[in-house]
């Protein structure tokens, strides 16, 4: 029955195969709509037949997050991938959300412009980026998807199509659904079109990178002070990233400088990074070294590797404190990477997780225990710890949320029958 109704929409629909799963839950059908109207037609059928729906972008993050309570229909947006409107003079582009970020930026590069967002996962679609609110190193200067989206078209669970915002950068008419849908993990509806504010491509980019040794179990640099000073530098770095692995020789900090004056700015930043008052080294003269280069370090903007991925958010003055907390948490095999200037990091842990969560524990701590212990420390820094992906067991994935009740109420209004990716989001939303 549902299959016939789905077919009647005229949209390409196929029976799901073994690969069509969301966090391990097998879907029944996969639809490949090519327009907002087709998505609306599909969702109307889904509403009539009480089908649970999960929108799919590049499929790169489908295994992130908790499994859906049920999943009948995958709405795969891969064929909804056109650039609908591009006005270089307005620095604005309107796209269908199935286009990949890379493809879009290739298109924009012809006019020397870019959508200043990055995804740590290759093949990410613009819609996937919006729905997960992912960001890369340059969030420090340009913000996250919610800061650059200026208009959206969404299709709700009952098939209603709605727009908010528009195609002008400055616009305060009505509520901003773009913000609400950004980071909503497909639980409120399907974002089918989005309009973004663009930036001119910087004429030059330089990276300044320094690696500080590990002295005892502390870095050979006052990381907290360094991060604060770099963030406050009037050389205006576009990004300040930290990379620290259990098995790397130390702590690497790299800053990105963009624009015509990049060389002068890089020199200013190099001096901050090698300031002997806050950094020490094992080199003969005791001074830390920083290299300026035209390409980023190889880890730049990539996900740290590990079976379990956690996100740490702290006030930007707490980068040093995060490292301190982790260094004394007896983790093994971890990698911490992220924006020291914004206070947003990803922490990768190996599967089966660390030997122990406490020094005295003989038996391996479960992932859940480790996560809860780390969370306690991070929340004490006025921060949050989220479990992004991986086998986290019974751990609470989200941490403290001040407005969970309001969020539930929003969900209840947008998707009263709980058919949009049910169970995939905070508090079981």
Partner 1 sequence: MTELLAGRLREVLPDEAVITDPVRLRTYECDGLTYHRATPGVVVLPETAEQVAAVVRLCQEFRVPFVARGSGTGLSGGALPRSDGVLIVTSRMRRILSVDLAARRAVVEPGVTNLAITEAVRDAGYYYAPDPSSQQICSIGGNIAENSGGAHCLKYGFTVNHVLALELVTPDGDIVELSAMDAGYDLLGAFIGSEGTLGIATKITVRLSRAPAAVTTMLAAFTTIEGGGRAVSAIIGAGIVPAAIEMMDALAIEAAEAAVRCEYPAGAGAVLVVELDGPEAEVEAQFALVDRICREAGAFEIRVAASAEERQAIWKGRKSAFAAVGRISPAYIVQDGVVPRTALPDVLAGIDRLQEEFGIRVANVFHAGDGNLHPLVLFDDAVEGEGERAELVSGRILDLCIEHGGSITGEHGVGVDKARYMPRMFTDEDLDTMQLVRCAFDPRYLSNPGKVFPTPRLCGEVPQVRKGPHPHEAELF
Q: Which of residues 126-155 bind partner 1 (CB under 8 A)?
A: 133, 143, 146-147, 154
Ramachandran category for residue 102: left, alpha or beta (phi over 0 → left; psi -120 to 50 → alpha): alpha
Residue 386-415 contact track with partner 1, rule CB under 8 A, x = bound: x----------xxxxxxxxxxx-xx-xxx-
Q: Within 329-368, which residues bind partner 1 (CB under 8 A)?
A: none
Could you tell me which of 96, 122, 110 has the C-alpha nearest to residue 35?
Answer: 96
One residue of 384, 391, 393, 418 binding partner 1 per CB under 8 A: 384
23 binds partner 1 (CB under 8 A): no
CA–CA distance from 78 to each of 31, 120, 408 (Å)? 10, 19, 30
CA–CA distance from 278 to each of 91, 206, 267, 287, 354 (Å)? 41, 23, 17, 10, 31
One residue of 79, 84, 103, 201 binding partner 1 per CB under 8 A: 201
Q: Which is nearer to partner 1, 150 or 349 (CB)?
A: 150
- 3-state SS record for 133-156: CCCCCCHHHHCCHHHHEEEEEEEC
Residue 359 Cβ, how far from partner 1 at the closest point, in Å? 30
By CB under 8 A, the count of residues binding partner 1 is 82
Q: Which is nearer to partner 1, 142 or 244 (CB)?
A: 142
One residue of 13, 182, 226, 349 binding partner 1 per CB under 8 A: 182
87 binds partner 1 (CB under 8 A): yes
One residue of 2, 213, 259, 364 binding partner 1 per CB under 8 A: 259
2 binds partner 1 (CB under 8 A): no
Residue 88 Cβ, how far from partner 1 at the closest point, in Å? 8
89 binds partner 1 (CB under 8 A): yes
Query: How far apart (Å, rounded) are the C-alpha atoms in residues 429 and 418?
Result: 8
Q: Within 229-258, which residues bind partner 1 (CB under 8 A)?
A: 231-236
109 binds partner 1 (CB under 8 A): no
Residue 294 Cβ, how far from partner 1 at the closest point, in Å? 18
13 Cβ contact list (under 8 Å, min separation 6): 3, 6, 7, 29, 30, 31, 32
Q: Kindly indicate which of the ranges 41-49, 53-61, 195-203, 213-221 contains the residues binding partner 1, using the contact rule CB under 8 A.
A: 195-203
Could you tell me which of 105, 184, 115, 104 has the C-alpha nearest to residue 148?
Answer: 115
Query: How far apart (Å, rounded) are the C-alpha atoms in residues 207 and 296?
Result: 6
């Amino acid at each position: 029955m549902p299959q016939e109704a789905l077919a009647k929409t005229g949209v390409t629909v196929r029976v799901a195969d073994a690969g069509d799963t969301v966090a391990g839950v097998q879907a029944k059908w996969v639809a490949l709509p090519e327009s907002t109207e087709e998505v609306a037609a599909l969702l109307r059928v889904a509403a009539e037949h009480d089908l649970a729906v999960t929108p799919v972008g590049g499929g790169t993050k489908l295994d992130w997050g908790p499994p859906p309570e049920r999943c009948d229909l995958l709405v795969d947006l891969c064929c909804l991938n056109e650039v609908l409107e591009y006005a270089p003079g307005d620095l604005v582009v309107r796209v269908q959300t199935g286009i990949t970020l890379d493809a879009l930026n290739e298109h924009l590069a012809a006019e020397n412009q870019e959508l200043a967002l990055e995804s740590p996962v290759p093949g990410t679609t613009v819609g996937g980026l919006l729905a997960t609110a992912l960001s890369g190193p340059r969030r420090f200067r340009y913000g996250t998807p919610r800061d650059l989206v200026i208009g959206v078209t969404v299709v709700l669970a009952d098939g209603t199509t709605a727009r908010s915002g528009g195609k002008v950068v400055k616009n305060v008419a009505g509520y901003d659904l773009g913000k609400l849908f950004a980071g909503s993990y497909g639980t409120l509806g399907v974002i089918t079109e989005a309009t973004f504010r663009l930036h001119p491509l910087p004429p030059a980019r330089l990276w300044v990178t320094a690696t500080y040794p590990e002295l005892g179990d502390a870095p050979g640099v006052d990381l907290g002070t360094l991060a604060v000073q770099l963030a406050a530098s009037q050389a205006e770095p576009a990004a300040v990233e930290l990379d620290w692995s259990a098995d790397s020789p130390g702590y690497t900090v790299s800053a990105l400088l963009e624009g015509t004056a990049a060389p002068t700015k890089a020199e200013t930043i190099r001096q901050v990074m090698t300031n002997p008052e806050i950094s020490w080294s094992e080199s003969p003269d005791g001074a830390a070294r920083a290299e300026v280069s035209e390409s980023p370090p190889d880890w730049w903007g990539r996900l740290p590797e590990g079976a379990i991925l956690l996100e740490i958010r702290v006030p930007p003055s707490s980068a040093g404190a995060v490292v301190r907390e982790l260094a004394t948490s007896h983790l093994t095999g971890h990698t911490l990477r992220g924006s020291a200037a914004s206070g947003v990091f990803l922490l990768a842990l190996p599967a089966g997780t660390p030997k122990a969560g406490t020094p005295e524990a003989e038996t391996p701590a479960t992932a859940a225990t480790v996560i809860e212990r780390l969370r306690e420390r991070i929340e004490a820094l006025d921060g949050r710890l989220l479990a992004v992906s991986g086998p986290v067991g019974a751990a609470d994935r989200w941490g403290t949320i001040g407005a969970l009740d309001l969020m539930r109420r929003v969900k209840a209004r947008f998707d009263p029958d709980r058919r949009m990716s049910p169970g995939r989001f905070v508090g079981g939303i």
